[in-house]
Structure 1
Amino acid sequence: MAARTAVLVKAGRTAAAGLVLAVPLAAGCKADVGVSESGSPSAGGTKPASGDEARARKDLSRLRIAAEGGGSGYRRDKFGTRWKDTDHNGCDQRNDVLDRDLTKVEKKGGCVVVAGRLHDPYSGKEITFAKKDAAEVQIDHVYPLALAWRMGASRWSEDRREQFANDHDNLLAVWGVPNRQKSDSGPGEWKPQKGFQCSYAIKYVAVAKEYSLPVTRSDHDALQDFLGRC
């Protein structure tokens, strides 16, 4: 797609990326703060399970390759509520992902993550998360929403788009700086640090397969390269 009205679209996307965590505390939470020293392993510290690489290579070979469509009509609210409790555990997806990906997690009311440590998968940097500076750690969509829109999600039902936007498998807690740089780029335009490229490709391919999303030729080739780092 010719220079892809890229510059115009990206300008709007970057602004949106920076707002990803600008949400208030969940209503009705208690004032007590709980601390978990162990926490879940950071996303950047996890390694693919045995067989994940081979499965991703197989699935990548079966993904449809398509040209990127236009972004006309895209708005974040086309993908539903941010963030929703889609797994019905009483906590919204944002706090679920922070709780999963951060260590030394502190929570208020059993749900709202107010502090923790992140090993950022995109840069390898250690980040201290505090609620008062929430934008330092953001929740990223591995397969970006606006890119998904251009690759066919514009034709999905509203329910399916909301499911996609809140799917834990497509969400990562990351440092705000690389997230803003990534914006809604695919792997052919943006890549994480080398140490995370294998895991990133495995996640990206799995989401594309789950939602029958195609990839561009440049994204396909980049994902293939990333899997070579496994």
Structure 2
Amino acid sequence: MVSGAACTPDTSRQDAKPSPAPSASSPDGKSNGALRLVDAIDRLKVARESRAGYERDKFRLWTDADHDGCDTRKEVLLAEAVKKPRQGKSCKLTGGSWRSYYDDKTVADARKLDIDHVVPLAEAWDSGASKWTAQRREQYANDLGAERSLVAVSLGPNRTKGDKDPAEWMPPAKDATCIYATDWIAAKLRWKLTADGAEVKALRAVAAGCGDATVLFTSAP
């Protein structure tokens, strides 16, 4: 279970992705939202989860939506690189380095990175994606429209995380806890996904140690 202790209020990023500028949320929920972490948790709709019918293949991964030769995985690697990799034919990437904020480590080999869905595909299915069209699930799986829906992280912590929610897993790096909580909630609000009771309880425990942390999100189109 998650403890709310020792959570830094600093939500600055450890990688190269910029944070979106804060803006006021609108009543229809379609414009950018900037909410205090504790208020953002209150915005989550609480509901029971069901994994019935889930198959990973129901989410089409790593498409090239803009047809520039770089699929979603490579787009995230390019966006988050601390040291930019060389980009060759067919978007082959060589060199470069990345900062994995889950474990606060620098990684100099893209093969040792996963592109993590902050809210895992199975968790998204449990929380509302089971009712989506295949096209909508593909959009979710390749979401480049938000800064923090997808993150490049070390293989180890991501494989340990698996399909777990914040009641079951949090990043091992001490300074990652509040960042991860805000990323998680932002993704859920962006895609109008629900949360179960244990998940909300864990997020509230974390938020208690996060000071004035802010959740920034834009509703998915």
Unaligned 5+ segments in structure 2 are: 1-12, 24-32, 214-221
> Following the alignment from structure 1 to structure 2, what is the Cα–Cα distance between the partners of residues 200 and 87?
28
Letter in 1 for 2:81: L
> Following the alignment from structure 1 to structure 2, what is the Cα–Cα distance between the partners of residues 44 and 215?
29
Letter in 2 for 1:100: A
Identity over aligned pairs, percent: 38
Contact 2:83–2:98 (CA under 8 A) maintained in structure 1 = no
Between stretches 139-148 and 199-208, larger displacement belongs to: 199-208
Contact 1:42–1:100 (CA under 8 A) maintained in structure 2 = no
Of 123, 128, 137 in structure 2, the residue corresponding to residue 161 of structure 1 is 137
Letter in 1 for 2:42: S
Contact 2:17–2:79 (CA under 8 A) maintained in structure 1 = no
Partner SS, residue 172 of structure 1: strand
Contact 2:41–2:185 (CA under 8 A) maintained in structure 1 = yes
The equivalent of 1:75 in structure 2 is 55
**What pairs up with 1:173-212 in 2 under 5 angstroms?**
173-192=152-171, 193-212=173-192
Q: CA deviation at 1:173?
A: 0.3
Q: More relative contact order in 1 or in 2 (CA 8 Å, sep 6+)?
A: 2
Partner SS, residue 70 of structure 2: coil
> Following the alignment from structure 2 to structure 1, what is the Cα–Cα distance between the partners of residues 140 and 98?
24
- Deviation track 1:24-74 (CA, whole Å, cap 9, x = no partner) reads xxxxxxxxxxxxxxxxx85389779668874443232111112221x2322
Unaligned 5+ segments in structure 1 are: 1-40
Contact 1:91–1:111 (CA under 8 A) maintained in structure 2 = yes
Q: Does 1:121 align with 2:101?
A: yes
User: Normalization by structure 1: what TM-score?
Assistant: 0.70
Letter in 1 for 2:47: A
Q: CA deviation at 1:98?
A: 0.6
The equivalent of 1:32 in structure 2 is none
- Structure 1 residues 167 and 45: alpha-carbon distance in aligned structure 2, compared to 1, 3 A threshold: closer
Q: CA deviation at 1:94?
A: 0.5
Q: CA deviation at 1:175?
A: 0.1
Letter in 2 for 1:62: R
Q: Does 1:219 align with 2:199?
A: yes
**What pairs up with 1:10-49 in 2 under 5 angstroms?**
42-43=14-15
Contact 1:120–1:175 (CA under 8 A) maintained in structure 2 = yes
Partner SS, residue 205 of structure 2: helix
* C-alpha RMSD of the superposition: 2.5
Between stretches 115-124 and 141-150, larger displacement belongs to: 115-124
- Structure 1 residues 221 and 53: alpha-carbon distance in aligned structure 2, compared to 1, 3 A threshold: farther
Give the structure with the larger helix fraction: 1
Q: CA deviation at 1:182?
A: 0.2
The equivalent of 2:91 in structure 1 is 111
**Number of matched pairs:** 184
